Structures are given as C-alpha cells and as structure tokens.
C-alpha cells in the first residue's frame, strides 16, 4: 500500500460537478493498493498516518500529529501511484490491485482510519473521474509505502 500524504489548509473532491468531500486543515491522502496488501498493512499505515508529527507546535516546529490538532482527512484511491515507468513511455499499472481487491481494502483503510481518529473521513469516489483541489500547507508532502515498513 502506497500513500502520498499532503498537509493541507483546505481540500475537496468533485465528481460530475458535485463536491462530494471537503475539509479545512488536515491531510489529503492519495492511496494506491497492490494485490499483496492486507489488513496488517492497513493497521500499520493508519497508525503511522494518525500519529505522523508534521503539524507545527507553538514554536513553529513540526511536532504535532493529526490527532493532536484534530485535523480532518480526505482519502482518494489512486491506482496510478503504482505506475511502473521502467520500460517505454507508457506507464504500466500491473502492480495495482483490480477493483474486486482494491475496493474492499480501500473501504477497510477508511474505516480503520476513522476508528483511529474518532471522526468521519471524507473520500473520493472509487473509479470516478475526480477533480481534486488542495491548498498544500508548507508545502508538506510525505510518501509512505508499507513495503518499506521493515
């Protein structure tokens, strides 16, 4: 499971002209799911995300977590995070999980993150043509891949 976590002052997702998710301060998280991903990846990753200390404290030092600042979250599924560009100029997405595997894992990721945060998490719409807007705060952008957890 691969994520791109962006600290934002605001973010939203629009599908077919309708805004389906919007937040103020928090994280916009792009999630790419592989066939080999499982619940233990979700547990490790959601714990890491909830406790990632990338918000400023009173001294302007990145020392506070999403939990500490009561930040909001939007999670967007993005299979293109698993693009392989090794050969040629057209990316291959062979590592990305098909919808029958990815959708249940995405839903489990969102539910687990909601449980850890104690609040609702906004989402995009799986497989839809989404327009994602964000105001990156900092900018602060962190990539985390569960394949690197050990």
**Residue-wise pLDDT tens digits, 112-136:** 999 999 999 999 998 899 999 999 9
- In this prediction, residue 31 has a pLDDT band, given cuts at 50, 70 and 90, of very high
Higher pLDDT, 149 or 82: 82
The mean pLDDT of 44-69, rounded to a whole number, is 97
What range does the domain containing 93 cover? 2-148
pTM comes to 0.95
Q: State pLDDT tens for residues 60-110.
A: 999 999 999 999 999 999 999 999 898 889 999 989 999 999 999 999 999
The number of domains in the chain is: 1
User: For 105-111, which contacts have Cβ atoms below 8 Å and span 24 or more sequence positions?
Assistant: 105/1, 105/33, 105/37, 105/38, 105/42, 106/31, 106/33, 106/75, 106/77, 108/39, 108/42, 109/1, 109/31, 109/33, 109/42, 109/45, 109/46, 109/75, 110/75
Give the per-residue pLDDT at 47: 97
* pLDDT higher than 90, residue 150: no
CATH number of the domain that residue 100 is part of:
3.50.80.10
The mean pLDDT of 37-53, rounded to a whole number, is 97
Residues with a catalytic annotation lie at 78-80
């Amino acid at each position: 499971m691969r994520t791109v976590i962006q600290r934002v002052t605001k973010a939203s997702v629009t599908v077919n002209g309708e805004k389906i998710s919007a937040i103020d301060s928090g994280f916009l998280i792009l999630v790419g799911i592989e066939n080999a991903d499982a619940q233990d990846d979700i547990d490790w990753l959601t714990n890491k995300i909830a406790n990632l200390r990338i918000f400023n404290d009173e001294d302007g030092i990145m020392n506070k977590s999403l939990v500490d600042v009561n930040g909001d979250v939007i999670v967007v599924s993005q299979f293109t995070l698993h693009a392989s560009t090794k050969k040629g100029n057209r990316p291959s997405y062979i590592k990305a999980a098909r919808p029958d595997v990815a959708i249940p894992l995405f839903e489990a990721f969102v539910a687990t993150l909601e449980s850890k945060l104690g609040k609702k998490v906004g989402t995009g719409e799986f497989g839809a043509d989404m327009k994602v807007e964000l105001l990156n705060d900092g900018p602060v952008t962190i990539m985390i891949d569960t394949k690197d957890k050990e």
